[in-house]
Amino acid sequence: MALVTGASRGIGRAVALALAARGARVVVGYHSRAEAAGAVVAEIAQAGGTACALGGDVARREEADALVAAAQERFGRLDVLVNNAGRTRDGLLLRMGDDAWREVLAADLDGAFYCLRAAARIMLRQRSGRIVNIASVAGTVGNAGQANYSAAKAGLIGLTRAAAAELAPRQITVNAVAPGFIETDMTSALSPAVRQAAAARVPLARFGRPEDVAEAVCYLASPAAAYVTGTVLVVDGGLTMGA
């Protein structure tokens, strides 16, 4: 049974669909878009899978804890947590207000920590579990205009490695996936000129699809990756190779 946070759209939606297609019962986590989350659940059911939607703001500890507890209660166990919920609020460093800094750190890093900690308590009892954190190449190379987001994603990679080291003795793996430019609402806000310039920098010459990231997540959540922990799988069309 898998909990995917931020699964109402974009990468999280593709991950939920892909895990369900591989037979996992899936909890579709969402923040504000209950209807979109319901549509993902319906799509999974139509394909013969089992899913339900659960709301909550992962940036708030009580809500993150309640989300993980409800997910576990719904299906009786928790095998996979995909920490995918995230947001951006871009701006140049010198003009970045405290609120923009805090909001992004709260959603992208605090939220992942709260869900990971709550899930680890359950997985430690089970003596098994898979945790996949959706980071970003912004966290490995840094992006101008994204000091808050880059810091959150770099922190998420550090959290991934520390948690992997702590949880390995109980056969719980913790890995990260670091996408580059992926076609979602998050990147559709970019102007056509910026999108074109960005795609031109990608050796594979296109933005990635949410499904490209979902395949990497499914691998890390699968039995095939039983001996893989503490790693960062980069899915960026070659954008940061050699960096």
- Binding ligand NAP (rule: CB under 6 A), the pick from 3, 16, 24, 30 is 30
- Binding ligand NAP (rule: CB under 6 A), the pick from 115, 151, 186, 214 is 186
Which residues pair with residue 233 across a beta bridge? 177
Q: Contacts with ligand NAP: how many residues (CB under 6 A)?
A: 30
**Is 59:111 a contact under the CB 8 Å cutoff?**
yes
Our finding on whether 146 is near ligand NAP (CB under 6 A) is: no
**For residue 77, which amino acid is it?**
R
Q: For residue 111, give both structure tokens.
A: 């939220």
- Binding ligand NAP (rule: CB under 6 A), the pick from 2, 3, 4, 11 is 11
Our finding on whether 159 is near ligand NAP (CB under 6 A) is: no
- Binding ligand NAP (rule: CB under 6 A), the pick from 2, 3, 4, 9 is 9
**Is 29:5 a contact under the CB 8 Å cutoff?**
yes
With CA atoms as reference, report the closest residue to 210 among 242, 238, 232, 177: 177
In the range 56-95, which residues lie near ligand NAP by CB under 6 A? Answer: 57-59, 84-87
Distances (CA, A) of 84 to 11, 32, 70, 157, 194: 8, 15, 18, 13, 25
| CB closer to ligand NAP out of 72 and 136 | 136
| Cβ neighbours of 98 (radius 10 Å) | 7
**For residue 84, which amino acid is it?**
N
Active site (catalytic) residues: 149
Residues making contact with ligand NAP (CB under 6 A):
5-6, 8-12, 30-33, 36, 57-59, 84-87, 107, 111, 134, 136, 179, 181-182, 184-187
